[in-house]
Structure 1
């Protein structure tokens, strides 16, 4: 069987280019500064910036320095940041109690950022591994993560 050749052009794209709205809907992806989320690694302390050995070029910052980074992000037009807390090992437990402490590092950092840069969106890592003494993302019973108990 032989395919039938249609006269060129087979498809006319004029209707998808007719208006600015249609062009925007059908254009290639355009990534801009407004699409970015700045990841920030936070730790306790004041005036502290320490390298993360497993991630060359990346640092953990104390809350006061994280606020400065949030201000810089807003000045650059970056609309959001995402916090990744480093919890003091002394605060970690098998039941991850520090995760729901209103005064934990994540909550203190969010309050400080919102006081200084209210317009920036703040996301957090909701995983439990920063608070779990055994490093898992959930509560562990008899070597198994118990999902139902974890989400309560």
Structure 2
């Protein structure tokens, strides 16, 4: 009997052509949704210090950025608003103002780029004087679930009217997908999609995002509505509810530390699964690369490939523009 191995997996790795032929997961620019930070003012960009290479854009400059990304093959964008405290209040009234910065910019992007897909953020925190995703009880500090639903629905309706293609409820209030779906359908927006933040964890990886938008809670934390990082089965319960309530797509956030959750969700649903490669995950790679501890480009592509391999059909990522340039080079 020969002691030499009969089965030799290395035969499928022996050349680049063969490796490409048997590759199981592939990245393309169609996989990317690019989050963008919008700020007040004109003709300005401002780098986010904790996210090297990522900028806040005024409305006129965000148009330029989208144009560059479209040239690279990116056609899906998720703008997030950074607003001054002057327009914030405890009921997030600015979120439904058609003349406000966010809705005005969404409408302008759709006029200038009618074929791009815009995913808008449905949550109170960018507009809330409390910095939470829901209404805060003034006495107890409790986040009031049911009182928040009507505000979210009116926000979603205003975003649909501005031209949003996909609404992204990121608040984690119970029942918000069904509530928003009913209001949209009653107002002739049955064609507007809902990408639910199905499993959004109370994560430490959001820090740079909150720096970028100055949207951290003024008191308390988000643990009573965002999920416990220790739980995976709970994500499947949230998934079942979102499916029942009419979500068109579901999301896991963050992505890199929750690859097992992405996989579990993918195994349980026929809906498209997305994942949010969040600001802290981006910042870690960039910081290590700046120190020379990692090859930044290779690490970026490996991170994105791991999210795709876990089961994500689309990835919200701050790497989108840079990764698209790498993919274009081939």
- Structure 2-normalised TM-score? 0.37
Give, in angstroms, the shift of residue 130 of structure 1.
Answer: 0.4
Does residue 100 of structure 1 match 2:89? Answer: no
Q: CA RMSD in A?
A: 1.8
Task: Provide the residue aligned with 1:61 in structure 2.
Answer: 57
Distance in structure 1 (CA, Å) of the matches to 2:69 and 2:52: 21
Q: Where does residue 45 of structure 2 map in the other structure?
A: 49
Alignment partner, residue 147 of structure 1? 145
User: Which among 61, 68, 74 is matched to residue 72 of structure 1?
Assistant: 68
Tell me whether 1:113 sits opposite 2:109 in the alignment. Answer: yes
Shift of 1:78: 0.7
Residue segments in structure 1 that go unaligned for 5+ positions in a row:
1-7, 10-25
- Residue 227 (structure 2) aligns with: none
Query: Residues of 1 paired with 2:73 and 2:49: CA distance?
Result: 29
Greater helix content = 2
- The C-alpha deviation readout for 1:34-71, integer Å capped at 9, x for no partner, is 11111110011110111223433321100001011111
CA contact (8 A) 1:106 1:124 kept: no
* Aligned residue in 1 for 2:219: none
- 1:78-130 per-position Cα deviation (integer Å, ceiling 9, x unaligned): 12011010011100001111111112222111111111111100112212110
Q: Which residue of 1 aligns with 2:124?
A: 128
Shift, 1:27, TM fit:
6.7
Displaced runs of 4 or more, over 6 A: none
8 Å CA contact 1:74–1:117 kept in 2: the answer is no
Q: How many residues align?
A: 129
- What CA distance in whole angstroms lies between the structure 2 residues aligned with 1:36 and 1:137? 25
Whether the 8 Å contact between 1:40 and 1:83 is mirrored in structure 2 is yes
Q: Contact 1:71–1:116 at 8 Å: present in 2 too? A: no
**Residue 88 in structure 1 maps to residue 84 in structure 2:** yes
What residue ranges of structure 2 are gaps of 5+ in the alignment? 1-5, 8-21, 151-330
